[in-house]
Structure 1
Amino acid sequence: MPAVKVIENDASSKNVVTMRIVGRGGANVLIEFGHPNWLWRCCVRWPHLLSANNAYTIDNIHYIKNNVEPLLHGLLCPMELIDVSTDILRPILDTFISELDDEVVKVIKIKNLASKVATNLIQNDHLLKSYCSQNFQTILLELKPKWIYYDTNYCRNCTHNALKGRKTEYCYNQLLMNSLHLETMLIDYERYPVEFKVTILEYLRNASNVFRVLYELQKKLSENAIPIKNLRSIRDIKDELLLLMTLRDVTCFIEWNNAGNTLSVHIVDVDLKPKKKWTHWTKTQRRIESGKKVLHTSNK
């Protein structure tokens, strides 16, 4: 979709600000408008009524703040709920929602984690994107660890990737068990600066790194949640399973800056899962269990 020019009036002049979509998922659009450090995240899960999307957004932000954020030890990307006039967003939302039946749009204002300088995309696959600046002075990794904990004798994530036809040679569970697995993950590993490698490998060996946090949370929740293969109806879906499925589907951003040799780590995509997805979960699980398994030699 092309960028939309929005004219803002003030007492002295007319200011033209560009509103543009910078990301699109199955349920949300990310909009940049007025400030490059922040994005507006609008729910478009229900294509007929804005009010339905607004109601979900309110429930979602309460869920994130009350149920998810306390578990993540400061790793959650900064975000807040704001009201935006429907007239401002109408040029974009008209494309996704047929009836804009509320005067305001419930928007999650979220920190823009895309680097302003690390814009050169050097690796791009389903589970990992790597960006760098000129001379690798800044590096941004966008990572999707998915099911980093599994209680089967096969790797659930790698088995699912194989089922989808993804030829992924690395595994976040393996990275958790052996930080040197990073060399397998990053294409052209030798191009990355030594300082970056030393810093991120030290971080990965730390017991409080983002992957360890997700692993422990998934493990604890798995012990109390009903296994997906045992689901028989939507009534079987309890809070523990919804939270577990949220934490199995997050995205992590790790940014390294040569100036100060610092790492910045955030987690995003922590939305409340709709209960109606249980049929998709069970169908996928049946396909995984009936297919070829991917095993690893290390402990799960």
Structure 2
Amino acid sequence: MEIIGKGNANILIRFPNENDDKNDEYLYRFCIRPFQSLESYNSYTMTNHEFIKRELVPLLGEEYVCSLELVSLPICDDLKRILGPYCKSFITKNMIPASDSIMGLKVLNLKPSRLSMDILQEDHQLKVYVDATGDKIVLEVKPKWLYNPDTLGFCRNCVHNSFKKRENIKYCMASMVKARTHHQVNIMDLFHENTVKCLPEIFIDDLNNYFQNDDNVLKRLYYLQRNLSDKTVSIEKINSDDDVTTGLMILMILRDVTVFISWDKQDGDTDGNHISSHIIDLDLKPRSKWKHWQETERLLSKQSNNNNNNNCILHSNV
């Protein structure tokens, strides 16, 4: 049992000795936000699972949402060892008997380690994985704000990257959706020069065709963000937790998802190479985060003013 992924709010654990030989096909996802009791932790996990199934799967489409199954797991010593540092308030060596269970989410592993994939490129918004043969390539993408409301006045992703001093990001993720007709998608903008040298030409062609298609996953997220942004209360008008509507909650979730875009080279007798997309990180956020959202907007507005209107890596609004 080991942690193979960690974010601000969740960790991914791989369990050993599964019944089948693909013991990394599925992972177990646990929230690491602070909870005061096992009961409140399990209640959140069940509520979160129900929210995703009820609100987000119908919105995004089952074909895009990574499969997730609510599971109840006994709290064995190994699980105590791994979760203990993150759940100190209710998991210690002696506090919870092994007969108790903790709720988690069983999810599909979108980059199984058995494929021995190397990382060609890594920054805050993009990781590029490739296997030894070059027949499978996976993009792990954090699209963030694909739609920028007119009232915002700047490219939110680019200004945020500038604020965080992410100087290695030389692309604008929002440009991948062709949000303006005068701007053509150029997927080569995503990759570093050394990355391009390692990518097969057929992959570049397939990915370019995929992003030109109106049915690609980023375009879907763009339209959903735009529609929700037009209908929900703006962040600056929130004054309490009660002001955070379900619509705003969903919008902020969609601005913080992770997308896996997988390319598989097919044999010559097939109908072409295959690109699939899955969306993860659809978890409920605490309504109290509105304070953080407002403060972030204040800081980015100040950063935008400091940038002298140079508020997009493309030097134009998208």
State the match for 2:65 in structure 1: 76
Relative to structure 1, is the Cα distance of residues 254 and 193 closer, same or farther in structure 2, using a 3 angstrom cutoff?
same
Q: Does 1:42 find its partner at 2:22?
A: no
- Bigger Cα displacement from structure 2, 172-181 vs 250-259: 172-181
C-alpha offsets along residues 180-217 of structure 1, whole Å, 9 cap, x if unaligned? Answer: 42111112324311111111111111111001100000
Please tell me whether the aligned partners of residues 118 and 140 of structure 1 are also in contact (alpha carbons under 8 angstroms): no
C-alpha offsets along residues 80-106 of structure 1, whole Å, 9 cap, x if unaligned? Answer: 101111226223222322324581110
Query: What code does the residue aligned with 1:220 have?
Result: N
The structure richer in strand per residue is 1
Shift of 1:49: 2.4
State the match for 1:148 in structure 2: 146
Q: Does 1:274 find its partner at 2:286?
A: yes
1:84-103 to 2 correspondence within 5 Å? 84-87=73-76, 89-98=79-88, 99-100=90-91, 103=100
Counterpart secondary structure, 2:275: strand
TM-score of the superposed pair, with normalisation by structure 1 = 0.88
- Bigger Cα displacement from structure 2, 244-253 vs 22-31: 22-31
C-alpha offsets along residues 207-236 of structure 1, whole Å, 9 cap, x if unaligned? Answer: 110011000000010011111122222221
Query: What code does the residue aligned with 1:71 have?
Result: L
Distance in 2 separating the partners of 1:147 and 1:223: 14
- Bigger Cα displacement from structure 2, 138-147 vs 50-59: 50-59
Query: What code does the residue aligned with 2:103 have?
Result: K
Counterpart secondary structure, 2:14: strand
Q: Does 1:182 find its partner at 2:187?
A: yes
1:109-148 to 2 correspondence within 5 Å? 109-115=106-112, 116-117=114-115, 119-148=117-146
In the alignment of these two chains, the number of paired residues is 282
Counterpart secondary structure, 1:136: coil
Distance in 2 separating the partners of 1:136 and 1:180: 24
Please tell me whether the aligned partners of residues 179 and 204 of structure 1 are also in contact (alpha carbons under 8 angstroms): no
Q: Does 1:229 find its partner at 2:236?
A: yes
Which residues of structure 2 form unaligned runs of 5+? 268-272
Counterpart secondary structure, 1:91: helix
Distance in 2 separating the partners of 1:173 and 1:26: 23
Shift of 1:298: 5.7
State the match for 2:162 in structure 1: 162
The CA RMSD measured in Å over matched residues stands at 1.8
Query: What code does the residue aligned with 1:114 have?
Result: K
Q: Does 1:263 find its partner at 2:264?
A: no
- Bigger Cα displacement from structure 2, 51-60 vs 119-128: 51-60
Please tell me whether the aligned partners of residues 140 and 259 of structure 2 are also in contact (alpha carbons under 8 angstroms): yes
Shift of 1:121: 0.7
Counterpart secondary structure, 1:122: strand
TM-score of the superposed pair, with normalisation by structure 2 = 0.84
Shift of 1:54: 1.2
Report sequence identity in percent: 35
- Bigger Cα displacement from structure 2, 130-139 vs 59-68: 130-139
State the match for 2:251 in structure 1: 244
Query: What code does the residue aligned with 2:161 have?
Result: N
Stretches (4+) displaced over 4 A: 296-299
Distance in 2 separating the partners of 1:184 and 1:191: 15
Q: Does 1:31 find its partner at 2:43?
A: no
